[in-house]
Structure 1
Amino acid sequence: MNTGAVSKLLGVSSSTVQRWVKHLGLEMERNEFGHYQYTEADIETLKEFKEQIQNGVPIQQIQVKKQNRRGSVKIQTEHYSLLDKVNKLERSIENKADSVVTYQLLQHRSEIEELKGEIEQLTKQIDELHSLLHQQLSDANVHTEPHREISKKQKKKTVFHTIFGF
Structure 2
Amino acid sequence: METNMKTKVASDKLGVNPTTVQRWIREFDLHCDVNEKGHYLISASVFHALEEIQRQLQQGFTKKEVVLPTEQENKNKAGEDTISKETPTMIETSVFEERFAQVMATVDQLEKKVNQKADEVVEYQVLNHRQEMDHMSEVLTKLEERMDRIEEALTERPKNVVSIEEPKLKKQAPKKRLASLFSF
User: TM over 0.5: same fold?
Assistant: no
Greater relative contact order structure (CA < 8 Å, 6+ sep): 1
Query: What TM-score do the two structures reach when normalised by structure 2?
Result: 0.40
Query: What TM-score do the two structures reach when normalised by structure 1?
Result: 0.44
Give the structure with the larger helix fraction.
1
